[in-house]
Structure 1
Amino acid sequence: MSYIQNPSSIEETSFKIIQSVIDEEHPDYRFQTAMEESIIKRAIHTTGDFDYLYNMRFTHGVNDKIIDVLKNKGTILVDSSISLNGINKRVLDQMGVRYDCLINHEEVVQLAREKQITRAMAAVEYAAKIEGPKIFAFGGAPTAVSYLLELVDQGLMEADAVIGVPVGFINVEECKEALLESNLPAIATVGRKGGSTIVVAIINAIIYQMKEVITDDYVRYSTPTTKKEGEK
């Protein structure tokens, strides 16, 4: 049996298949921007789920805001080790961007015990001590999304952008609706779908659109986007 073994060829072919499925099964679908196309296609690439064509929302110029934070060497704060392991730290290091998952930090664990709240909520509160622009990214902690919104409303926390894509059944849909209705620049999925791998897909899609990413094994270029009418 013959099969593709080169990583870059696998990825390139996958995105071609994604576009062909969109052309065939969703012929009237149009992406709003090249960046949104990159993000949505990478979410589909990660999950094999074309529902992400319709359930992902972008508010208050969030993509430009995230790019601004990254260019200014801000901090990405994720809510799981899965997300932390999946984001391309090599290129983030090249850009001087900081990143962390605070839920296992001793101070956060202690704060959660003292206040009888989840560690994800305690991590949000602890993050107020981190200086500079911040991007919060939630893939598995709807309570943390709600808590962040409370702290922002109370003037106790600042968030430059929020990726709110928790997956599950308890407070998941409600917290994402509240996030989308807030004044915070946000990327969120409507409904129950999401997860840590979607956080990874979103962050990597954005940084791959910003520059070429050179890994140890191969050169990964930004996600191919569809050409507009009249473009060559």
Structure 2
Amino acid sequence: MSAKVELIAVRKPGDIERKSFEIIDSEVPEPRKFDGLHWQIVRRMIHTTADFELIDLVRFHPSAVESGLNALRTGCTVVTDTEMARCGIPLRRMNPLGCEVRCLMNDPQVIAAAKAGNTTRAYAALEMASSSLKPAVHVIGNAPTALLRLVEMVNDGSMDVPALVVGMPVGFVNAAESKALLMEHAEIPYISIEGRKGGSALAACVVNALAEAVLAEKGLSSEL
């Protein structure tokens, strides 16, 4: 005979999210590895994936959080490496801050450049974004080629150092390696993950956590 299923009585999106955070907080009691806004970011990552192992895998550059907050405070451009990540950063969070979220993966010029250069669209999109959009925040959750190119361009001086790189490509071919190169870079403010884990939804939720913090500063709400 199966055990009785006990449901939690919440229906509204905001209430569900708050209850989820309460459950995560209860399952990771203080003292925690992270605190303050760092914990809010990691907690949202756990909320997105239900993966508590992330606590041991997330890495923050010392200036990443404040640099990311400052970029969002000033109405920056955020560029993602997938449409999924772009859609995962909703306008209800970005519009009140005057921020723009773009993805160039389906841009005809990017497609043509990738074909001509025999490379990935993510690689070509990163180059185009750097030259035309000059984003303050790069969100890379899928394409190691984009993250590798970003580090290379910062190193050779063809790209200004971004305010923040959320570098979390997922997979088996150069995903862990590209993140390792990012995390070895002393000048690039990054939030990243050791190993193969990552993904568009995970990378997007980091920006959401930072945006929520700035909205709270301004006394604004992003609830539906």
Instruction: Provide the TM-score with structure 1 as the length reference.
Output: 0.86
Structure 1 window deviating more from structure 2 (96-105 vs 85-94): it is 85-94
Residues 174, 154 of structure 1: alpha-carbon distance in 2 compared, 3 angstrom cutoff: same
Partner in structure 1 of residue 221 of structure 2: 214
RMSD, aligned α-carbons: 1.7
Aligned partner letter, 2:210: I
Matches within 5 A, 1:1-232: 3-23=9-29, 29-31=32-34, 33-131=35-133, 133-158=135-160, 159-182=162-185, 183-212=187-216, 214-215=221-222, 217=224
Alignment check: 8 A CA contact 2:68 2:137 kept: yes
Deviations 1:150-199 (CA, angstroms, capped at 9, x unpaired): 11111111222211011111101111010000121100000111101111
4+ aligned runs moved over 6 Å, structure 1? none
Structure 1 window deviating more from structure 2 (158-167 vs 116-125): it is 158-167
CA offset at residue 216 of structure 1?
6.5
CA offset at residue 41 of structure 1?
0.3
Deviations 1:30-59 (CA, angstroms, capped at 9, x unpaired): 31x411111100010111110111100011
Alignment check: 8 A CA contact 2:75 2:99 kept: yes
Residues 87, 12 of structure 1: alpha-carbon distance in 2 compared, 3 angstrom cutoff: same
Alignment check: 8 A CA contact 2:77 2:136 kept: yes
Deviations 1:93-139 (CA, angstroms, capped at 9, x unpaired): 12111210111111111111111110000011101223555211100
Q: Distance in 2 between matches of 1:21 and 1:197?
A: 22
How many corresponding residue pairs?
213
Percent of residue pairs identical: 33
Q: What SS does the corresponding residue of 2:52 show, helix, strand or coil?
A: coil
Alignment check: 8 A CA contact 2:215 2:222 kept: no
CA offset at residue 214 of structure 1?
3.3
Q: What SS does the corresponding residue of 2:60 show, helix, strand or coil?
A: strand
CA offset at residue 203 of structure 1?
0.7
Alignment check: 8 A CA contact 1:167 1:195 kept: yes
Alignment check: 8 A CA contact 1:69 1:133 kept: no
- Structure 2 segments unaligned to the other structure (5+ residues): 1-5
Q: Distance in 1 between matches of 2:68 and 2:16?
A: 28
Aligned partner letter, 2:122: A
Deviations 1:176-230 (CA, angstroms, capped at 9, x unpaired): 010000121100000111101111210111111112453473xxxxxxxxxxxxx
Partner in structure 1 of residue 3 of structure 2: none
- Structure 1 segments unaligned to the other structure (5+ residues): 218-232
Alignment check: 8 A CA contact 2:78 2:139 kept: yes
